Structure formats: C-alpha cells, structure tokens
Amino acid sequence: MYNISRKVTVFAVALLFLGALTLVGCSSKPDEAQMKQMNDLKAEVASQQKEVAAKEQEKAAIQKEVADKSAKVTKVMQDQQIVKQRLGK
C-alpha cells in the first residue's frame, strides 16, 4: 500500500512538472520564478524516483530474507519428521 501511494505521489509531481512545462511553453519566455519552479520540480521528481528505487531494493532484500527463513523452517520441519520416523521404528 505504501508503494502505491509513493507511486501516486511521483505521478502527481510529474504531472505538475508537465503542467509547468506546458505553461512555460505557451508563453513567449519563462520568467525567473517559472524557471525556479521548474528546476525545483525536476529536483523533487529526481529525489522521489531515487527514494522509490531505494524502497524497491529494500523490499527485494526483505523478500529474499523471508524466503531464506522460510526455506530454513521447511528444512527443519523435514528433519524433525525424519527424526520422528526413525525414533518411532
């Protein structure tokens, strides 16, 4: 859910950025305030994209850790069954 809201935020920032570009493109020349706003939006989009990439890497690492631990639990349960079978004979 957090990942979806982050993507929505990035999309909204990108949409604002495109809107700013459209407004700037319609005028004869962008003024300093518009250029500053556009550069700020570019920086914010880049920052958001880096943050999303970092969170995706973190998610992948956590999923790998969960899979490793799950495999260990499965192995222990199999070993436990083998021991129970051998003791039961």
CA atoms within 13 A on the CB side of 48: 18
Residue 6: the pLDDT is 77
More confident residue, 1 or 86: 86
CA dihedral of 9, 10, 13, 19, whole degrees rounded to 10? -120
Residue 24 pLDDT greater than 80, yes or no:
no
Q: How sure is the predictor about 19, in pLDDT bands with cuts at 50, 70 and 90?
A: confident
Which tens digits make up the pLDDT trace of 25-74? 555 677 899 899 999 999 999 999 999 999 999 999 999 999 999 999 99
